[in-house]
Each structure stands twice: as C-alpha cells, then as structure tokens.
Amino acid sequence: MEIAVNIVTLVFLGALTLYIASAAFSSVRRSAIAARGQQLEDEYLRARIGQVMDERRIERERSELSWNGFRKFEIARKVQEGGGVCSFYLRPHDQKKLPPFKPGQYLTFQLQIPGQTKPVVRCYSLSDSPNHPDYYRCSIKAVPPPRDKPEAPPGLSSNFFHGSLKEGDIIDVKAPGGGFFLDLSKSTPVVLIGGGIGLTPVLSMLNAIVENGSKREVWFFYGVRNSKEHIMKDHFDAIRREHDNVHVCICYSDPEPGEEKGRHYDHGERVSVALFKRLLSSNNYEFYLCGPPPMMNSIVGDLEAWGVPETHIHFEAFGPATVKKTAPVAHPDATAASAASAGIVVSFAKSNITAPWNPDAGSLLEFAEANNVTMDSGCRAGNCGTCITAIKQGEVKYLQDPGAKPEAGSCLACVAVPKGNLVLDA
C-alpha cells in the first residue's frame, strides 16, 4: 500500500514538474513571440519612416530643382534601339542638377524645325527610371506615313529627331509632367502593358521597380507584331532572369517565319484581357497601359467588363484618338442636335473670328484650326498643357478628364467643347 502511494506521489510530482516546465516554456515562448512581433513592428515602422523621409526628400528636390518654361538640354547620346526607335539621352546644358520625376511622366519639347513658321511643340514619355540624376532619356519612334495613306508625310517631329538631331545638339525642354505615373510607395501587385512605342512610360515604371529593389508582384506585357519591332530584348531577358517577382510576357501578334515561341516571344497573340485571365490569379491588380488606340480601347473596356474597378485602371494616350470608356463621358456627339438647335457660337477674340460651333470638329482646338485660328498644341490629349487658353466669356466641358485641370477661367482646347456661346482669348 505504501509503495502504491509513493508511486502515485511520484507520478503526481512528475506531472506537476512537467506542467510547471511546460508553463515556463510557454511563457518564454510567448515572450519570444511577443518580442519578435515587436521587432517586426519596429522594423516596419523604421522602414515606413525611411520611406516617408525619402518621399519628402524627392518632393523637396522636385520643387527646388524644377523650372518654368523651356530649359536648354544637350543630346549627350543618341542610341539606335532597332524597330525604328532611337533613345535620346539628355543632359542640362547649364550642368545643374535635374529634378526627379515620377515613372511614367513625359517631357515637352519645343523644336525649331526648318520650313515651319513657328516652333513645333511635342511630348515624349521618359523611358528610364528616375534613379539617374545626371540625364533624362526619351525613346522615340520615327513615325512613317499611315499604312492606308502612303503618300502622306511621315511624322514631323519624330523624324526630325531621327534625321536631323545629333549628339551635341541643343534643344528646348520643359520640366517633366503628366498625371500618368506609378506610385512607388505602394507594394500592391501591378500589371504593366505597353503596345508598340507605348512601351516607353511603362518601361520607365518597370525600371524604377527593379532598380529600387521592390518585391511587389509585377506582370509586364509588351505587344509588337514581331522581332522587327521588338526593342531592348536583352534588357527584358536580364530582368526576367534576375527578378523572380517580375513576370515578363512578350507577345507577337504576327510572328515572322522562323521566330519561335519560347525563344523569341512568349505568346503568339495580341495583348488582351483574355490572356490576363489565363495567366493572372485574379483581377486584383492595378493596371497601367499605353499603346495604340485600338488596343487601349479594347483592353480598357474588357478590364471594366472583368470587374476591375475604374480606380485600378490607369492609361495614357497621346494624339487626337482618346480612350473611350464604358462609363458615360461628355462628348459632342451626344449633344449635337441640341447644340445645332441652340445655335452655339464660338468667338476667337485675338483673331477677330466668329463662327457657329460645329460638333463634328471634335474639339475647340480642331475647330480653331478649321477656321484658320492658330493655337499652340502638343499632346492633343489634355496632358501637356500647351493648348491652355483663357476663357473670356462662357463655359466649356471636357471630352475626357485632362491630366491636370487648368486654373479657373482657362481651358485645355484640345479636349474641350463649348457648353454654350463662348469667347476665347485666341
């Protein structure tokens, strides 16, 4: 009986010892977990504070180093990229520091082209990351005549860059601008889409992501017809090899004989939402795209149909053709009948010209040109601000949201139409 009691006592004492040891271990473990959690929280706070400080420094530098009007730049390097594309490396002629820009933004050029009665203003996207404070880079394609109009002249400014400008030449440049850019402070997954020479702003975004060491999930789609248009192949191959978080997808819509899938390109089709659905795990991405208007219209509409929120679709289009979204937008066609019956009249005060508004003209800029009124212009998509014009009387509405709305009392003529009788200071 005594032995049995002793055994029970020993078992009890052993269990008690194990319980106490287990409790002590659990306490130590909880303390270790809490300490690790605090360490991770401290590391996150330090990283976030560093990020905020970097953002403030960049904004301060952008404000301090930026400039008004046009500044002289020297073409330091001119590099042929193939596919009719040439990269121009630009350094400030005064050798002062350059302000940082946001990846996706563009430069506005004022070009002195022989045979033109006034300077030609054009916008070209920056094609490299902002991490190079000694130069800006724009990659420009020499635009040929339209396929359906081979007798038409080629692109005026792009061919001037290619054929006339050389290393050492001086050109006039405005500070970087534009509302189409990637927020580098975010870590949300992104899809970058470039079609043809629309590659350049999303290439700037891609380079910024990889050079900053970001680990955010990135899908990069580059659409061209075939290898004749495929530029910077080695660069994209290197990114594919060196960055596991970046998925590079090269799409050839019309491969040449001998071009192999898996070697020259990844997908033998156009860039499309149907392709995204096959490759992406969901639609929970932010989409940034730039390319030819047909591609842009198709992808934007299909992204909306896929349920992607409008706030997650970012795009840029230069030129008269703009992206038509499924959401209602102001458009002259929608009010053509009422405009005609109301007898809207547009007056250009400086030119002393008055004419009945014709909705078929498209925009106030095109209407002015049709009536021999000279107005400065650049991007023709509401981004560069070159066509800003004072309103002396009346109001306008916009065919699409401009990159940055002008101050009250002015309008961007390239994307504006009159609401009623209008007098412009032009």
As for how many domains the chain has, the answer is 3
- Give every strand in the sheet of 286-290, ordered side by side: 246-252, 218-224, 190-195, 286-290, 313-316
The answer, yes or no, to whether residue 17 has pLDDT greater than 50, is yes
Are 285 and 207 in a shared domain? yes
Amino acid identity at 30: R
The 10s digit of each residue's pLDDT in 102-144 is: 999 999 999 999 999 889 989 999 999 999 999 999 999 999 9
Are 139 and 164 in a shared domain? yes
Are 161 and 111 in a shared domain? yes
Mean pLDDT across the chain: 87
Pairwise CA distance, residues 356 & 370, whole Å: 12
Amino acid identity at 64: E
Q: Which of 260, 292, 316 is the last residue of a domain?
A: 316
Per-residue model confidence (pLDDT) at position 287: 98
Are 309 and 277 in a shared domain? yes
The answer, yes or no, to whether residue 367 has pLDDT greater than 80, is yes
Q: Which of 287, 316, 345 is the last residue of a domain?
A: 316
Per-residue model confidence (pLDDT) at position 362: 87
The CA-atom distances, in angstroms, between 325 and each of 71, 145, 226, 270, 402 are 36, 28, 29, 20, 14
User: Checking DSSP bridges between strand 416-418 and strand 396-398, what pairing results, if any?
Assistant: antiparallel
Helix (H) or strand (E) holding 109: strand 106-111
Mean pLDDT of 369-385: 84
The answer, yes or no, to whether residue 331 has pLDDT greater than 50, is no
Are 202 and 312 in a shared domain? yes
Asked if residue 265 belongs to a domain, the reply is: yes
Are 369 and 420 in a shared domain? yes
Mean pLDDT of 381-410: 87
DSSP assignment string, 285-346: SEEEEE--HHHHHHHHHHHHHTT--GGGEEEE--SS-----SS----GGGGHHHHHHHT-EE
Are 196 and 160 in a shared domain? no
Pairwise CA distance, residues 115 & 31, whole Å: 79
Asked if residue 311 belongs to a domain, the reply is: yes
Asked if residue 58 belongs to a domain, the reply is: no
CATH number of the domain residue 359 falls in: 3.10.20.30
Asked if residue 146 belongs to a domain, the reply is: yes
The 10s digit of each residue's pLDDT in 258-300 is: 999 999 999 999 999 999 999 999 999 999 999 998 899 999 9
Are 160 and 206 in a shared domain? no
Pairwise CA distance, residues 329 & 249, whole Å: 33
The CA-atom distances, in angstroms, between 46 and each of 55, 57, 211, 305 are 14, 16, 21, 41
Q: Which of 333, 339, 332, 330 is nearest to 420 (CA)?
A: 339
With cut-offs at 50, 70 and 90, classify the pLDDT of residue 323. Answer: low
With cut-offs at 50, 70 and 90, classify the pLDDT of residue 336. Answer: very low
With cut-offs at 50, 70 and 90, classify the pLDDT of residue 337. Answer: very low
Per-residue model confidence (pLDDT) at position 79: 98
Pairwise CA distance, residues 85 & 228, whole Å: 11
90 beta partners: 75, 136
Are 164 and 256 in a shared domain? no
Instruction: Provide the residue range defining the domain that includes 292.
Output: 190-316
The 10s digit of each residue's pLDDT in 41-54 is: 665 566 556 555 55
The 10s digit of each residue's pLDDT in 215-233 is: 999 999 999 999 999 999 9
Tokens linked to 394: 């009346």
Classify the phi-psi angles of 409: left when phi > 0, otherwise alpha if psi is within -120 to 50, otherwise beta.
Answer: left
Query: What angle, rounded to 10 degrees, do the helices at 233-242 and 199-211 form?
Result: 30
The answer, yes or no, to whether residue 356 has pLDDT greater than 90, is yes
The CA-atom distances, in angstroms, between 343 and each of 214, 242, 355, 380 are 57, 63, 10, 26
Asked if residue 20 belongs to a domain, the reply is: no
Per-residue model confidence (pLDDT) at position 114: 96
Asked if residue 52 belongs to a domain, the reply is: no
CATH number of the domain residue 104 falls in: 2.40.30.10
Mean pLDDT of 323-329: 47
Are 312 and 383 in a shared domain? no
Per-residue model confidence (pLDDT) at position 399: 87
Q: Which of 142, 173, 204 is the last residue of a domain?
A: 173
Asked if residue 306 belongs to a domain, the reply is: yes
The CA-atom distances, in angstroms, between 390 and each of 46, 145, 410 are 48, 35, 4
Inter-residue contact 107 to 136 (CB < 8 Å)? yes
Inter-residue contact 93 to 74 (CB < 8 Å)? yes
CATH number of the domain residue 303 falls in: 3.40.50.80
Pairwise CA distance, residues 104 & 75, whole Å: 21
Are 161 and 199 in a shared domain? no
The answer, yes or no, to whether residue 254 has pLDDT greater than 60, is yes
Are 230 and 289 in a shared domain? yes
With cut-offs at 50, 70 and 90, classify the pLDDT of residue 2. Answer: low
> Quick one: 335 exposed, middle or buried, by C-beta within 10 A (0-12, 13-18, 19+)?
middle
